[in-house]
Amino acid sequence: MLAITDSNNNHAGTIMMWRSVLRNGVKNFHPVYFALVMATGIVSIAFEAMDFPVIARALFALNLVFYPVLCVFLLARILFFLPDLMADLKVFKRTLLFLTFVVGTNTIGMQFILFHQAISLAICLWFIALTGWFVCGYFILSSFIAMREKSLPETVNGPTLLIVVSAVSISLLGINLLSALNLSDSFAYLIAGGFWLLGFVVYVLLITLLICRLFFRRFEWMDWDAPYWISMGTAAILTLAGSEFVMRTHLPPEWAGLREIVLWMTVLIWMIGTMWIPYLLLMDTRKFTRTGISAPIPLWIKICPWLRLGFGKEHHVYDPAAWSRVFPMGMYTAGLLALTNASGYAFLAQIASYWGWFVLFVWLLTVIGMLRSVISLIQRFPP
């Protein structure tokens, strides 16, 4: 009888413990986890463009799990922990990360059009993303105005560029929706193009400030983290959206010059994004080969530093921010393939192909790291 009682008490204690874990998970949930949807979605879109439909649809199937689960957590936090959510929205750095919900929603909307021609659902997702963009924009502007302790160059970092990525993602899904609906309304295309142009202008401003911070002020490699990859990813999504605008927009004959201007602007922004890649790879390598490692550096890390995302014991370095690296990588592949079609420069597709397989490899390592983190969390609690 005593053994049965102890067993029941242990079972009840385990249930209470898991309830506490779930409650804290909802209370502390942050939309930054939607970067998982962003990364998986754009890699899926890229591999569809590379003509590997099995891989593309498998990744889409994963996103059909990831996105609803994350939305349930976000909705639960809104319903049960609204004061905590509002507190996050009033902090500039944390408000920026809410934009991952906007980009993630637009990304899966693109997948629904691409794989199932689910235009009505994609329209709903576009309006949800647009609403989220305006809400986040209000809080970002409010918290930025109230923020006085730092100068503008000190404020700009990788996540700041999510302002641009989110605006361009609205343009990107909008252009694809107009094309899927076979609409020839020039005004609607110009509105979608306006979001792209807004993103282009803001990117030039923010990337200038970021360059000043990284190269002309004191910046230690220890401060480097995956979100700085967004500096390239922003240029990549501008490339993708600009290429889609060139290929899909219906404009009157007298506006034909506009398409040419957008194409050359797109080529320029792709070149800027490409110039970031060697620096980003170098900083990643320095980070992975120096952080938490006592000499000598293990051979497997020297061969491929990104293996630390998925493997190793004391060398394992996964955190949720790692998805901020995968999305820009995947976006560069998708953007380059779209630019190939828009410009007719076939040699670009070969570059995209090689880069795309590297991206899939990093995505897989990041997934392994995420699963290891989840398993580690589960193992902390007794059965």
DSSP assignment string, 323-380? HHHHHHHHHHHHHHHHHHHHH--THHHHHHHHHHHHHHHHHHHHHHHHHHHHHHHHHT
Q: Which helix (H) or strand (E) holds 226?
A: none
CA dist 239 and 266 (Å) reads: 5
Exposure string for 232-244, b = 16+ CB within 10 A, e = fewer: bbbbbbbbbbbbb
Q: For residue 280, what are its two tokens?
A: 């980003």
For residue 248, the number of C-alpha atoms closer than 13 Å in the C-beta half-sphere is 26
Picking from 248, 328, 340, 237, the residue whose alpha carbon sits closest to that of residue 281 is: 328
- Measured CA to CA in angstroms, residue 181 lies from 117, 119, 129, 177, 241 at distances of 10, 8, 19, 6, 18
DSSP assignment string, 31-93? GGGGHHHHHHHHHHHHHHHTT-HHHHHHHHHHHHHHHHHHHHHHHHHHHH-HHHHHHHHTSHH
For residue 257, the number of C-alpha atoms closer than 13 Å in the C-beta half-sphere is 1
Residue 344, Ramachandran bin (φ over 0: left; ψ between -120 and 50: alpha; else beta): left
Q: For residue 288, what are its two tokens?
A: 């992975």
Q: Are 102 and 136 in contact (CB under 8 A)?
A: yes
CA dist 227 and 121 (Å) reads: 30
Q: For residue 188, what are its two tokens?
A: 């609607």
CA dist 143 and 91 (Å) reads: 6
Interacting residues of 109 by C-beta distance below 8 A, sequence separation 6+: 121, 122, 125, 126, 129, 173
- Sequential pLDDT tens for the chain (383 residues): 545 555 555 555 555 655 665 666 677 777 788 999 999 999 999 999 999 999 999 999 999 999 999 999 999 988 988 888 888 888 888 889 999 999 999 999 999 999 999 999 999 999 999 999 999 999 998 888 777 656 666 678 888 999 999 999 999 999 999 989 988 777 888 888 899 999 999 999 999 988 888 887 776 767 788 889 999 999 999 999 999 999 888 776 767 788 889 999 999 999 999 999 999 999 999 888 887 777 788 888 889 999 999 998 888 888 888 999 999 999 999 999 999 999 888 888 888 989 999 999 999 999 999 998 888 866 665 55
**CA–centroid distance for 375 within its chain:** 24
Per the confidence metrics, is the pTM higher than 0.85?
yes
Domains of the chain, earliest start first: 15-379 (1.50.10.150)
Exposure string for 309-340, b = 16+ CB within 10 A, e = fewer: bbbbeebbbbebbbbbbbbbbbbbbbbbbbbb
Picking from 104, 263, 106, the residue whose alpha carbon sits closest to that of residue 193 is: 263
Q: Are 359 and 333 in contact (CB under 8 A)?
A: yes
Picking from 99, 127, 364, 112, the residue whose alpha carbon sits closest to that of residue 234 is: 99
Question: ∠ CA 131-138-26 to the nearest 5 degrees?
Answer: 70
